[in-house]
Amino acid sequence: MAAPPNANLDLATRQALAARMRFYRDLGLTELYRRPVDPVLLKNLLQSAVSKPEVEVLHEAQTVIPIPVEHDLDSYNLEETAIPPRKPIAGQPEIAPPVAPAARAAALHAIREDIGDCTRCALHTGRNKIVFADGSPDARLLFVGEGPGADEDAQGLPFVGKAGQLLNNMIGAMGLKREEVYICNVVKCRPPGNRTPELEEANTCSPFLFRQIDVVRPEVIVALGATAATYLLGQRQPLAGLRGRVHAYRGSKLIVTYHPAFLLRDPRQKKEAWADLQIAMRELGLTAPAKSQD
C-alpha cells in the first residue's frame, strides 16, 4: 500500500501542517480534499520559490499541500486519490419531556451513570478521565465545545486550561459566573493530539449531549466552534454561514461562535466572538456589567 503523501515530511513540517489544519477547522472548513497537482505547474512553482523553506500550494481554495523544496518531486504520489463519500451525521432523537428543576441534578447524574466507564468508541483508549460537564443543572445558558484537551482530561472538567480561562472571561463579560452556566462537549473523552473527533466518535457520544441539553433545557445554547455547530445543527457549513443569527434548536435558541482555543490563536476574532455573545445576551435579557473604573 502506498505511503500517505505527507509520510516523508519531517516532524516540524507535519506539526506546521497540523496547526494549519486546526486553523482551517476553526474557521469551519471541515472538509479538505487532496487533489492532484499538475506536475509542470508544481515544478514551476517550486523553481520560483527556491529561497523559501516550504511552499504551500493552494488548489481550488480547499487543498493544502505543503512541499519542502528539497524533496524529490518524484516521490510524491500525484495520482488522483478517490474521495470517499461523505458519511452522514447521525440523526438526533426526539426532544425528551421536560424535567422539573428539582429533578435535573438527579437526571444528569443518571446520564453520567449510563456513560459509566465507557468503551463505546475508540476515544476510550487514550483518555485519562471522562469529562462529563460542569455548571448548573438550572442554567439558562449552555455552552457546547468540541472535546476535552489535556488539562480537561487530567482534571475531568471541561474548559479548565487556557481556553477555559478565556471562556470564563467571556462568561464574566456577559455578567454571569461560570457556576451559573452549564458547560459540556460533543465528545466526553480526549481525542489523541487534540485532533477533531472522528464522525463515528461524535455520532457515538453525542446522544449523551442531547440528553444533557434536554434535561437542562437552557434558554440559549452557544456552540463553540465548527465541530459543536456541526453536530448540534446536523449540517456541515462553514462557521461564517452559521454565526450572527439565532437558530431554533431542541426548544432552545442556538448561537454559533468561535472556539476559545481558536481565539487564543487568532485574538483578532475576539471582537466577532463578542458580537456573537451579545446576541446571546440579548436573547437572555442580559446587559454587560459596567467596567471597573480602577
- The correct pick among 121, 221, 228, 277 for binding ligand SF4 (CB under 6 A) is 121
The verdict on 111 binding ligand SF4 (CB under 6 A) reads no
What 3-state DSSP class applies to 103? Answer: helix
The verdict on 196 binding ligand SF4 (CB under 6 A) reads no
The arrangement of strands across the sheet holding 220-224 comes to 134-135, 182-185, 141-145, 220-224, 252-257, 247-249
**Spatial distance between the Cα atoms of 234 and 31, rounded to a whole number of angstroms:** 15
- The correct pick among 65, 133, 184, 189 for binding ligand SF4 (CB under 6 A) is 189
Lookup result for grid cell 469551519: 28
Cα 200 vs. chain centroid, distance in angstroms? 15
The verdict on 118 binding ligand SF4 (CB under 6 A) reads yes
DSSP H or E segment with residue 136: none
Lookup result for grid cell 456573537: 276
The verdict on 187 binding ligand SF4 (CB under 6 A) reads yes
The verdict on 184 binding ligand SF4 (CB under 6 A) reads no
The verdict on 115 binding ligand SF4 (CB under 6 A) reads yes
The verdict on 130 binding ligand SF4 (CB under 6 A) reads yes
The verdict on 157 binding ligand SF4 (CB under 6 A) reads no
Q: Minimum CB separation from ligand SF4 for residue 117, in Å?
A: 9
Which residue spans within the chain are E strands per DSSP? 54-59, 63-68, 134-135, 141-145, 182-185, 220-224, 247-249, 252-257
CA-to-CA dists, residue 63 to 32, 33, 34, 37, 159, angstroms:
6, 6, 6, 10, 31
The verdict on 59 binding ligand SF4 (CB under 6 A) reads no
Query: Are the C-beta atoms of residues 55 and 46 closer than 8 Å to each other?
Result: yes
Q: Which stretch binds ligand SF4 (CB under 6 A): 22-30, 32-40, 99-107, 117-125?
A: 117-125
Tell me, by CB under 6 A, how many residues bind ligand SF4: 14
- How many DSSP H helices and E strands does the chain contain? 10, 8
Q: Which stretch binds ligand SF4 (CB under 6 A): 52-60, 81-89, 181-189, 285-293?
A: 181-189
The verdict on 21 binding ligand SF4 (CB under 6 A) reads no
Q: Which residues contact 201 (CB under 8 A, 6 or more apart)?
A: 121, 122, 123, 187, 191
The verdict on 211 binding ligand SF4 (CB under 6 A) reads no
The verdict on 99 binding ligand SF4 (CB under 6 A) reads no
- The correct pick among 71, 124, 178, 247 for binding ligand SF4 (CB under 6 A) is 124
The verdict on 108 binding ligand SF4 (CB under 6 A) reads no
- The correct pick among 205, 229, 255, 256 for binding ligand SF4 (CB under 6 A) is 205
- The correct pick among 9, 123, 171, 220 for binding ligand SF4 (CB under 6 A) is 123
**Spatial distance between the Cα atoms of 193 and 206, rounded to a whole number of angstroms:** 20
Q: Which stretch binds ligand SF4 (CB under 6 A): 10-18, 22-30, 52-60, 114-122?
A: 114-122
Which residues bind to ligand SF4, rule: CB under 6 A? 115, 118-121, 123-124, 130, 187-189, 201, 204-205
